[in-house]
Amino acid sequence: MTIQRIEPGTRSTPAVIHNGTVYLSGQVGDPEGDIQAQTRDVLAKIEVLLEKAGSSKEHLLMATVWLADMSDFASMNEVWNAWVIPGMPPARCCGEAKLARAALKVEIMIVAAVA
Taking the domains of the chain in order of start, what are their residue ranges? 3-113
pTM listed for this prediction: 0.96
- Sign of CA pseudo-dihedral 105, 111, 113, 115: positive
> pLDDT digits over 20-37, tens only?
999 999 999 999 999 999
Q: Which CATH architecture group holds 3-113?
A: 2-Layer Sandwich (3.30)
80 HSE (CA, 13 A, CB side)? 23
- Sign of CA pseudo-dihedral 47, 51, 57, 61: negative
Q: Would you call 79 helix, strand, or coil by DSSP?
A: helix
Q: Tell me: pLDDT of 7 over 90.
A: yes
> pLDDT digits over 54-110, tens only?
999 999 999 999 999 999 999 999 999 999 999 999 999 999 999 999 999 999 999
62: which residues sit within 8 A by CB, 6+ positions away?
90, 91, 92, 110, 111
Q: Would you call 48 helix, strand, or coil by DSSP?
A: helix
- Are residues 89 and 81 in contact, defined by beta-carbon separation less than 8 angstroms? no
- Are residues 1 and 18 in contact, defined by beta-carbon separation less than 8 angstroms? yes
Using the 8-state DSSP alphabet, how is residue 70 labeled?
Answer: G
d(CA 109, CA 115): 18
> pLDDT digits over 42-68, tens only?
999 999 999 999 999 999 999 999 999
